[in-house]
Structure 1
Amino acid sequence: MQLSSKSSQTHQFIHRMVLDNGIVLLVAENPTADIIAARIFIRAGSRWDPPEQAGLSHLVSAVLTKGTEKLSSLEIAEQVESLGASLSTDATTDYFLISLKSISADFPEILELAADVLRSPSFPTAELELERRLTLQAIRSQQEQPFTVAFDQLRYMMYGEHPYALSGLGTEKTVAQLSQTDLHNYHRTHFRPDNLVISLSGRIDPGAAIALVNQVLGDWQVPPTPLPTLATLDVQTTPCRQAIAQDTQQSIVMLGYLAPPVRDGASSTVRDYSVLKLLNTYLGNGLSSRLFVELREKRGLAYEVSAFYTTRLDPAQFVAYIGTAPENTAIALEGLQSEIDRLRVTPLTGEELQAAKNKLLGQYALGKQTNAQIAQTFGWYETLGIGIDFDTLFQKQVAETTADAVQDVAQKYLTVPYVSLVGPAGAVDKLANYP
């Protein structure tokens, strides 16, 4: 049994190793509880789906655990339940994920099962058709939700031909056309040892982790074909306003701004990412956030109001949104816009800045409490290509952010927004310009 790795690195309590077949292994030794959590990241996801196959990653994740060359869907479920363990899959925009957790004594067995699912899925036809129907139902259901309709429209406006323009679920047309062969081709292309990051956290030391992963996956050889690469796609669209008329009880107003990806190698862009995360916390995170206090509590305009800034491989979205009564749509749009414009012209006070820092850093720390959260966080950083040291860098940059830096970043990115409107025709149509 091989106990060595090609290279290794230790950061705080995270050990990073590259195994001989290219698997990147991260280990966080945490003996507090008799649990081991693992996240197996595959560098895939809907960003890799061709436009005509939108929804492919999602469908692969839905069917992956429904059968292998050795086991049926029922046998897989029974084995997981007999161990009192968990095994699940997910496909996001920028990665594909297999999650597992068990007590330490049972972890080798659940890892063996996960390896079988990872390497030899059969994608049974009956299971594929069932998951296809469920996906189509989910797509139709989302078309009845004003927030989702507004966000779908915003993505199309901001990303154009880029894969980020499409929902991870795909469209009714593309999902209906996906075949079992498409799923097998996806698996053959992306599921390979040199495209994997395995992140473990729990009662296991690095030496034992290397031995176990080599025992289970060490014979998996790298195929002769090169790894799939992502083409660099520029996002070149023009900010505009668009509306979709729906007979809804409220209007949804969304403002979107193109913002930097986290993986950009420029140090200034990495700093901008951290500052925008801080701005997002100040604007839209919780009942004390600027948007909630000003637009809901003081002005009574919002049923809901918030902001989010996604972490992405490619240019991301900084989004602020409000749900409001249809008759208040125009004033809600003006109010939302003015609160963001304020960031460019009025520096945050020392008290506002420190409160936002405390909230962001506190929530960040709380997001790394459990073994599953630790495995997820560091595996995600490794998969993004920013490395496990980003954990320290991000916290340092947030702590060192000044009011001037906040204003500079706001002036750089939060300028002219894309505006997506959904609501009754009389409330939204007059606010759109459809350029």
Structure 2
Amino acid sequence: MRTTIHPTTEGVLNDDAGSTVRRSVLPSGVRVLTEAMPGVRSVTIGYWIAVGSRDEAEHQYGSTHFLEHLLFKGTRTRSAMDIAAEFDAAGGESNAMTGKESTCYYARVLDTDLPIAAEVLTDLVTSAVIDAQEMETERGVILEELAMAEDDPTDVVHERFSEQVLSDHPLGRPIGGTTAAIRAAAREDVVDHYRRWYRPEELVITAAGGVDHDQLVGLVAEALEGSDWDVSGRGEPAPRRVGDVQTIPVREGVAHHRKGIEQSQVIIGGRGLAAGDQDRFALSLMHAILGGGMSSRLFQEVRERRGLAYATYSFSAGFTDAGYFGLYAGCLPEKVDIVTEVMVAELERIASEPVTAEELARAKGQLRGGTVLGMEDTASRMNRLGRAELVRGEFVDISDSLAEIEAVTAEDIARVARRLAESPRATTLVGPSAQA
């Protein structure tokens, strides 16, 4: 079942396959969504803010990711050690993730420890101190994180490809910021970014597992009353991010980034599909056939038949108003030319010739299995609620997702592949030679 999520919709969004999805909007504008899974003794809870690296002003580059670190460093009532100790004492796991369009702080705990998780997460999201000394310490930690990523050639080629295919658009900026931006980040700019985005109307709380919806709403309301946020008035949830799909200029041709490594990393690709595109299920099946597993065309042709690379695959990234796709391989420098030729030939073949019935059936089985198995994890369901609220404004249950997969035809896959193959093409190469 598909359920459209209107800004003020409350009540049951879905009641299927043994789980119940509910949504409430607090008077302050905070949204709470839960999926109760009978028989599950754990809960994954996430606090979402619809701010990512694309939303940073020029003088705030890297601030979103900086905040991901700083919010765990202390609040008005808790030190960084207090936050860590409370989660450890509950036997829980806590972390955060920053994307190009959203940030999430989350924890996985026993159902009996949900009150602790809700209280601590509310505290760190609403009442962070952003201490000057802690910021200096964490600046060093983030610089180490960036350096670690720069030492991983696979990370480097994906980051450089994103920059190349998204050109000068804000989506093309690195999520973690650059070394120069982090070194230059001023506390007042990071604090301004925090105050701009971390507000009741922007907060979405999602939880899945052994959770009682009414209990969680009560816990959140109580925690907010004791926070640094003013929740005394009435507020409306912030509008979802919207935007017409953009034709972002692609920096065509080869961008070579020399690095003293033994193997070359290469990605070739271009514009893809936005997150809400109606062809997204066909795209997922196309990737399963083209480069999504050991039976995929890329794996079989590049690795198994020709022995040109150890790793090769295809991928996509979708955002509100844009997207990109790529074909990846890691190979010896002297093999870059032939590897890219083979990958492009496979892309053009899947765009021009219908996939076989056997390939289609195998891909559908792979995607169905991945969908169902993924939903047996409380973190996956928590994330699904967050995406439904922030991105699509629509909750799609597993049964309907499986039906969408089953409905895709060979012609649907060829059509979406043609959309990708006809896109302006960029090649990103990281390695010791300029061959491509």
TM-score for both structures, normalised by structure 2: 0.89
Which region of structure 1 is more displaced relative to structure 2, 339-348 or 12-21?
12-21
Determine which of 79, 83, 86 is the counterpart of 1:76. 83
Q: Are residues 1:243 and 2:256 paired?
A: yes
Note if contact 2:28-2:235 (Cα within 8 Å) is conserved in structure 1: no
TM-score for both structures, normalised by structure 1: 0.89
Corresponding residue for 2:10? 7
Determine which of 385, 388, 407 is the counterpart of 1:381. 388
Distance 1:234 1:375 in 2: 32
Q: Are residues 1:190 and 2:197 paired?
A: yes
Check 1:9–1:53 CA distance in 2 against 1; reply closer, same or farther (3 A cut): same
Corresponding residue for 1:350? 357
Corresponding residue for 1:107? 114
Q: Are residues 1:158 and 2:165 paired?
A: yes
Note if contact 1:192-1:223 (Cα within 8 Å) is conserved in structure 2: no
Letter matched to residue 132 of structure 2 = T
Corresponding residue for 1:266? none
Q: Are residues 1:371 and 2:383 paired?
A: no
Q: Deviations over 1:315-339 (max 9, x none)?
A: 1121111111111111111011111
Note if contact 2:201-2:236 (Cα within 8 Å) is conserved in structure 1: no
Determine which of 337, 341, 345 is the counterpart of 2:348. 341
Q: Are residues 1:208 and 2:215 paired?
A: yes
Check 1:225–1:136 CA distance in 2 against 1; reply closer, same or farther (3 A cut): farther
Letter matched to residue 7 of structure 1 = E
Note if contact 2:47-2:205 (Cα within 8 Å) is conserved in structure 1: yes
RMSD between aligned residues: 2.4
Q: Secondary structure at the match of 2:86?
A: helix
Letter matched to residue 421 of structure 1 = L
Q: Deviations over 1:3-46 (max 9, x none)?
A: xx863342132112222222222111123132222111111121
**Alpha-carbon deviation of 1:109?**
2.3
Corresponding residue for 2:291? 284
Check 1:44–1:418 CA distance in 2 against 1; reply closer, same or farther (3 A cut): same
Check 1:207–1:74 CA distance in 2 against 1; reply closer, same or farther (3 A cut): closer
Which region of structure 1 is more displaced relative to structure 2, 333-342 or 247-256?
247-256
Distance 1:65 1:149 in 2: 27
Determine which of 273, 280, 301 is the counterpart of 1:273. 280
Distance 2:337 2:51 in 1: 41
Determine which of 421, 427, 430 is the counterpart of 1:422. 430
Note if contact 1:18-1:25 (Cα within 8 Å) is conserved in structure 2: yes
Which region of structure 1 is more displaced relative to structure 2, 389-398 or 58-67?
389-398
Structure 2 residues not aligned, in runs of 5+: 1-7
Q: Secondary structure at the match of 1:88?
A: strand
Distance 2:386 2:164 in 1: 31
Distance 2:367 2:40 in 1: 27
Distance 1:288 1:231 in 2: 37
Q: Are residues 1:54 and 2:61 paired?
A: yes
Corresponding residue for 2:4? none
Determine which of 231, 234, 240 is the counterpart of 1:220. 231
Distance 1:309 1:201 in 2: 27
Matches within 5 A, 1:313-324: 313-324=320-331
Letter matched to residue 352 of structure 1 = E
Distance 1:391 1:31 in 2: 16
Distance 1:79 1:307 in 2: 41
Corresponding residue for 1:143? 150
Letter matched to residue 422 of structure 1 = V
Structure 1 residues not aligned, in runs of 5+: 264-268
Which region of structure 1 is more displaced relative to structure 2, 13-22 or 360-369?
13-22
Corresponding residue for 2:33? 26
Distance 1:159 1:365 in 2: 32
Distance 1:282 1:133 in 2: 43
Letter matched to residue 53 of structure 1 = Q
Check 1:290–1:108 CA distance in 2 against 1; reply closer, same or farther (3 A cut): same
Corresponding residue for 1:252? 265
Corresponding residue for 2:318? 311
Distance 2:92 2:156 in 1: 37
Q: Secondary structure at the match of 1:322?
A: strand
**Alpha-carbon deviation of 1:303?**
2.1
Which region of structure 1 is more displaced relative to structure 2, 309-318 or 216-225?
216-225
Q: Secondary structure at the match of 1:101?
A: strand
Matches within 5 A, 1:116-127: 116-127=123-134
Note if contact 1:25-1:198 (Cα within 8 Å) is conserved in structure 2: yes
Note if contact 1:27-1:199 (Cα within 8 Å) is conserved in structure 2: yes
Q: Deviations over 1:69-100 (max 9, x none)?
A: 11111122222222222332221222110102
Note if contact 2:27-2:233 (Cα within 8 Å) is conserved in structure 1: no
**Total equivalences in the alignment:** 418
Distance 1:33 1:225 in 2: 33
Q: Secondary structure at the match of 1:388?
A: strand
**Alpha-carbon deviation of 1:222?**
6.6
**Alpha-carbon deviation of 1:299?**
0.4
Check 1:359–1:335 CA distance in 2 against 1; reply closer, same or farther (3 A cut): same
Using the aligned pairs only, state the percent identity. Answer: 26
Distance 1:90 1:413 in 2: 29
**Alpha-carbon deviation of 1:249?**
0.8
